[in-house]
Each structure stands twice: as structure tokens, then as C-alpha cells.
């Protein structure tokens, strides 16, 4: 491990003043988004109460129906929230970041699904007069004779498929593309569920207030998908017309791809963010893979650095100069906008150094204020570029080479400290005063997070991107 000699200097006053403004704005967005969801849940609960929901709990069959109504309403709110959460709405992407959005998406998704199952069971049981044995006949009657219920059944099948394939054990067995394709059935599921809500659910239509609420929510969800998942990427790709300009081998099965395009200075992207990429002129061009920028965007070109780990990434080395590139994004919060502290710590492993390399170029810091801990079990990337940043900007880079010293350690052999936490706090005694950017494979970042938390780094100073599941 080597420590580049860090000169000392006073930080630029304008850097210090601006810090945290965007981070605070994002915190407000998170608060507003969370409040909107809770208020929506509160509102439908209020309508259920004023519609006699609590009174109905007094009887067995009416109680079951009443539970069926409130679980259906809450499930519908959460399903629509799901759609908005994954519609790549820029303001939410910036405020939460993909990892946090995916975590919330999983939580909200499983909750809405469980509520939907509870809704189906209790409402059928209630309609069956509270008799378990009459349930199958009642279910058949509901599906066949009630308006919109055949569509709702198809919706349930779609959502069951999405949830089953998202359970971790099943998820690991599927190729990413297969899982992703199946996941798109969730949109169909949400769409097919709407008619039965309108045609049989009095709770959705019995007052102007209810109608305004539900129609606004449906339009907002569908509009978000159309505008941000479909419209914006199409428009961006037409506007920027991206082309592969160069493929540069970086060694050890890793290549950098330089991409140019029209009006790239108008592409709102920051160092540390990622796009999902599709490339023309190769097999499997319809498949998209996420790759972070490995250099700070300069308004004329973009650079990604890709490690060969499977079919999609291996094909990148064979790209032809001039091939078309299509992007979705930019996404991710591992960027200057998350920053709120003057001092910086960046911790990366393997190809996870890519966004940190771009951040080290783009972030403002005085010499000695930014430290990179870079773990690599094979030849490290960007050695010359990091050395140049050390020379020009006083970036401090420590390599953490070698095989991991154990499955419970994020450090390599050769570290003397008894624990990873002891190593971290002795190397970076002021770690709690720093913004910490972390990137690497999930099992490794989880160990880093464990020690950052144990060292007392506040959650909102930790900015994370996981490169794998
Ligand atoms: C936000 C983010 C940024 C990344 N940035 C970089 C980078 O800068 N450089 C780099 O070399 N790698 C990066 N990766 C990892 C890279 O996306 C995968 O290595 C690549 O997609 C593997 O695809 P494959 O077809 O070669 O291999 P596969 O065998 O298909 O997949 C290998 C692994 O990658 C995962 N993966 C595949 N496609 C996707 C996808 N579309 N979204 C999420 N995970 C996927 C799979 O679940 C699997 O765990 C990043 C990953 C994420 C999530």
C-alpha cells in the first residue's frame, strides 16, 4: 500500500459555500415523496372508515368484506406507487438513487402483493358469507359473473409471476434479461386490475373526491412511464445520435469505450452516474447493460470502462468504431450532487473504481482532502490517470491489493490491523467528517457499509452504487 504525498492547502471558499445545497434539496424531495405516499394511504383509509369500514368489522362476513376492501385499496395505492418508483422519474432518481429506489421498490412491491392476496382471500370469504367451504363456488361466481373480474384474474396471474421470479432464490437462477422481461408483466398486471376497481369497487367511484384521486393517480403512473421510460430515452437518442469513437484495452479483460455524439454538452449527466447501454453492430444488440462513466463528462464525449464477466460485457471489446450506441439515463446518485462534506473518502473494488475515477476528476477538493481506497485482486485500473490526479490535484490513492483476507473482510492480505474497522479508523481517523462514496460488488460493499456504520459515519454521508446482485 502506498500513500501519495499530499500537499496541504486552504480549500476554495466557493466550494465550501455550495456544498450540500443539492443534497438538501434531494432530502426535501424524499420527504415530499414519502409524505405523498403516506397521505394517499391515509386518505383511502379515511374513505374506508367513513364508508362504514370499522362498523362492518362487527359482523363475521361483513368484517371479512371490510378487511377485503381496505386491503384492496391499500394494495392499489402501493401498486401505483410501484409504477411511479420504477418509471425513472428524474427527480426521484436524483433524490433516491437507483439502489435506494430498488430497495423501496422491493419493499413496496412485496407489501402490495401480500395485501392483494389478503384482499382476494378476505373479499371472497366475506362474499361466501364467512363460510370456508362456499369459497371456491363464490370465487368462480365472482370471476365469471362480475364485471372486470376476468381481467383482474389475468392481472393476478401476471403479478404472481413477477413476484415469484423476484424471490431471491428464483431471481439468481434466471438470466438478467429473462427476469427483466418477466418483470415488465407487472405493468400489464396493474393495467388489467383497473377495470374491476372501476366497475365493482364502490370505494373507487362513490364520490367526486374518490374519482379525482384515483384518476389522477392512474394518469400520473401511466404518464410517468410514457414520458420518462419511453419518451425521454427515445428523444435523447435521436437528439444525441451516439457513436462508438474508440475502443481502448485497459488490460485484464477490461476495455474503455469512448462515445461521441451531437450536442453532448446538453446531456444532463454528471461524473459517477451510469447509463444502460445498447450497442449496434454486434449480436444481442437489444440487450441493455448498465455501465458507469469512467471519466468526467466534458460535453464532447463519454467514456465507459467495461470488464468482461459474461456474454454482454465480453462483446463490448469487439465493437466496431462508428457503431451506434443507445442509452437510457443518466441514473444514479453516486455523483457530486450527493455531496455535503468538504472532505471525501472513495472506496472501490475491482471495476467498481470506474465511477470513483470519474468523481475524483470532477469533484472539487483541495490537495489532501480526497482519499481513494482501491481494492483490486488483479492488476488495478487507471493507475496512470490516478497518479496524474495525485500530481495535479493532490488526490490521495491507497491501493488495497491482494486476495481478500477472509470472507468477512473487505481488505486484502497484508493489512496488520486486527479488524477491518480498526484499519479503517486508523487510516482515516476523521472518517465521520467525510462524504463516503462506495462502489463494488454487493457482498463486498455490504462489508464496507458495516464498518462505515460501526465507525459512526451518518447514513446520509454514505453514497453507494452496487455493481452486482
Ligand atoms: C449501476 C451499475 C453500474 C455498473 N457499471 C459498470 C461499469 O462501469 N463497468 C463494468 O464493467 N460493469 C459495470 N456494472 C456491471 C455490469 O452491468 C455487468 O457486469 C454487466 O451488465 C454484465 O452483463 P453480461 O451480459 O456480460 O453478463 P451476465 O452473465 O448477463 O450478467 C453478469 C452479472 O451482471 C448482472 N447484470 C446483467 N445485466 C444487467 C443489467 N442490465 N442491470 C443490472 N445488472 C445486470 C447479472 O444479474 C449478473 O449478476 C454495473 C452494474 C450496475 C448495476
Question: Is 226 inside a domain boundary?
Answer: yes
* Residue 350 Cβ contacting ligand 1 at under 6 Å: no
Q: Which residue has the higher pLDDT, 191 or 344?
A: 344
Q: Which residue of 100, 171, 290 sits with most ligand 1 atoms within 8 Å of its CB, as the best mutation to test the pocket?
A: 290
Nearest CA to ligand 1 atom 53: 467
Find the 289 Cα to ligand 1 centroid distance in Å: 6
Q: Which residues 6+ apart lie within 8 Å of 209 measured at CB?
A: 47
Residues 108, 204 share a domain:
yes
Q: What is the mean pLDDT of residues 418-437?
A: 96
- Angle, helices 208-224 vs 21-50, to 10°: value is 140
Question: Is 13 inside a domain boundary?
Answer: no
| Residue 461 to residue 407: CA distance in whole angstroms | 26
Q: pLDDT tens, 8-47? A: 344 344 444 566 788 899 999 999 999 999 999 999 999 9
Domain-ending residue, one of 288, 306, 331: 331
Nearest CA to ligand 1 atom 10: 306
Has residue 310 got a pLDDT over 80? yes
What's the chain's average pLDDT? Answer: 91
Q: Which residue of 310, 352, 353, 464 sits with most ligand 1 atoms within 8 Å of its CB, as the best mutation to test the pocket?
A: 310
Q: What is the mean pLDDT of residues 328-337?
A: 93
Residues 249, 213 share a domain:
no
Nearest CA to ligand 1 atom 40: 289
Find the 381 Cα to ligand 1 centroid distance in Å: 18
Question: Is 72 inside a domain boundary?
Answer: yes
Q: What is the mean pLDDT of residues 276-300?
A: 88
Has residue 2 got a pLDDT over 60? no
Backbone angles phi, psi at 189, to 5 degrees: -60, -45
Residues 209, 75 share a domain:
yes
Nearest CA to ligand 1 atom 38: 289
Residues 433, 306 share a domain:
no
Nearest CA to ligand 1 atom 51: 467
Residues 192, 274 share a domain:
no
Find the 284 Cα to ligand 1 centroid distance in Å: 14
Q: What is the mean pLDDT of residues 252-264?
A: 95
CATH number of 414's domain:
3.40.50.80
184-193, 198-207, 448-457: segment of lowest average pLDDT: 198-207
Q: Which three cell numbers stand for residue 349?
A: 473494488
Cis amide bond preceding 398, omega within 30:
no
Q: Are strands 343-349 and 289-292 parallel, antiparallel or unpaired?
A: unpaired
Closest ligand 1 atom number to CA of residue 355: 8
Residues 284, 166 share a domain:
no
Question: Is 10 inside a domain boundary?
Answer: no
Confidence at 174, pLDDT banded by 50, 70, 90: confident
Confidence at 403, pLDDT banded by 50, 70, 90: confident
How many other C-beta atoms lie within 10 A of the C-beta of residue 252? 14
Dihedral angle at the C-alpha atoms of 136, 137, 140, 143, nearest 10 degrees? -100
Residues 165, 63 share a domain:
yes
pLDDT confidence of residue 416: 83
pLDDT confidence of residue 1: 45
Residues 284, 204 share a domain:
no
Domain-ending residue, one of 331, 363, 388: 331
Q: How many domains does the chain have?
A: 3
Domain carrying residue 249: 241-331
Q: Which residue of 289, 292, 378, 465 sits with most ligand 1 atoms within 8 Å of its CB, as the best mutation to test the pocket?
A: 289
Residues 455, 399 share a domain:
yes
Has residue 106 got a pLDDT over 60? yes
Nearest CA to ligand 1 atom 34: 468
Confidence at 232, pLDDT banded by 50, 70, 90: very high
Domain-ending residue, one of 331, 352, 367: 331
| Residue 393 to residue 414: CA distance in whole angstroms | 29
Find the 429 Cα to ligand 1 centroid distance in Å: 34
Question: Is 7 inside a domain boundary?
Answer: no
Question: Is 286 inside a domain boundary?
Answer: yes
Find the 255 Cα to ligand 1 centroid distance in Å: 14
Residues 301, 161 share a domain:
no
Residues 350, 276 share a domain:
no
Has residue 79 got a pLDDT over 70? yes
Closest ligand 1 atom number to CA of residue 290: 17
Confidence at 283, pLDDT banded by 50, 70, 90: low
Best mean pLDDT range from 94-98, 213-217, 357-361: 357-361
Residues 292, 441 share a domain:
no
* Residue 465 Cβ contacting ligand 1 at under 6 Å: yes
25-29, 177-181, 402-406: segment of lowest average pLDDT: 177-181
Amino acid at each position: 500500500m502506498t500513500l501519495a504525498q499530499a500537499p496541504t492547502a486552504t480549500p476554495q471558499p466557493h466550494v465550501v459555500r455550495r456544498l450540500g445545497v443539492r443534497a438538501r434539496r434531494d432530502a426535501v424531495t424524499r420527504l415530499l415523496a414519502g409524505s405523498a405516499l403516506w397521505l394517499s394511504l391515509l386518505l383511502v383509509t379515511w374513505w374506508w372508515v367513513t364508508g362504514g369500514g370499522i362498523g362492518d368489522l362487527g359482523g363475521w362476513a361483513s368484517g371479512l368484506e371490510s378487511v377485503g376492501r381496505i386491503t384492496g385499496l391499500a394494495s392499489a395505492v402501493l401498486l401505483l406507487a410501484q409504477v411511479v418508483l420504477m418509471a425513472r422519474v428524474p427527480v426521484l432518481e436524483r433524490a433516491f438513487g437507483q439502489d435506494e429506489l430498488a430497495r423501496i421498490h422491493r419493499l413496496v412491491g412485496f407489501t402490495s402483493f401480500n395485501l392483494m392476496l389478503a384482499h382476494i382471500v378476505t373479499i371472497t370469504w366475506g362474499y361466501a358469507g364467512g363460510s370456508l367451504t362456499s369459497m371456491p363456488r363464490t370465487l368462480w361466481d365472482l370471476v365469471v359473473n362480475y364485471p372486470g373480474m376476468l381481467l383482474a384474474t389475468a392481472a393476478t396471474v401476471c403479478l404472481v409471476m413477477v413476484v415469484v421470479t423476484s424471490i431471491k432464490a428464483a431471481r439468481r437462477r434466471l438470466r438478467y434479461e429473462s427476469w427483466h422481461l418477466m418483470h415488465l408483466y407487472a405493468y400489464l398486471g396493474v393495467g388489467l386490475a383497473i377495470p374491476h376497481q372501476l366497475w365493482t369497487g364502490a370505494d373507487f367511484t362513490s364520490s367526486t373526491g374518490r374519482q379525482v384521486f384515483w384518476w389522477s393517480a392512474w394518469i400520473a403512473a401511466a404518464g410517468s412511464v410514457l414520458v420518462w421510460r419511453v419518451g425521454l430515452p427515445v428523444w435523447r437518442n435521436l437528439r444525441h445520435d451516439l457513436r462508438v469513437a474508440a475502443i481502448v484495452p485497459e488490460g485484464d479483460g477490461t476495455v474503455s469505450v469512448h462515445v461521441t455524439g451531437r450536442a453532448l454538452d446538453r446531456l444532463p449527466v454528471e461524473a459517477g452516474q451510469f447509463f444502460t447501454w445498447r450497442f449496434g453492430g454486434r449480436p444481442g444488440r437489444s440487450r441493455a447493460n448498465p455501465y458507469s462513466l469512467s471519466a468526467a463528462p466534458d460535453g464532447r464525449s463519454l467514456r465507459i470502462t467495461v470488464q468482461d464477466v459474461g456474454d454482454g460485457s465480453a462483446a463490448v471489446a469487439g465493437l466496431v468504431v462508428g457503431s451506434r450506441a443507445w442509452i437510457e439515463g443518466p441514473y444514479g446518485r453516486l455523483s457530486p450532487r450527493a455531496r455535503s462534506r468538504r472532505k471525501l473518502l472513495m472506496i472501490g473494488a475491482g471495476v467498481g473504481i470506474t465511477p470513483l475515477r470519474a468523481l475524483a476528476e470532477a469533484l472539487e477538493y483541495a490537495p489532501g482532502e480526497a482519499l481513494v481506497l482501491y481494492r483490486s485482486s488483479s492488476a488495478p485500473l487507471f493507475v496512470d490517470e490516478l497518479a496524474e490526479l495525485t500530481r495535479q490535484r493532490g488526490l490521495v490513492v491507497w491501493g488495497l491489493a491482494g486476495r481478500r483476507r477472509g470472507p468477512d473482510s473487505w481488505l486484502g492480505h497484508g493489512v496488520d490491523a486486527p479488524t477491518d474497522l480498526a484499519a479503517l479508523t486508523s487510516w482515516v481517523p476523521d472518517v465521520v467528517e467525510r462524504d463516503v462514496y462506495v462502489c463494488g460488488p454487493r457482498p463486498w460493499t455490504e462489508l464496507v457499509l458495516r464498518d462505515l456504520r460501526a465507525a459512526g459515519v451518518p447514513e446520509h454521508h454514505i453514497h453507494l452504487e452496487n455493481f452486482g446482485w
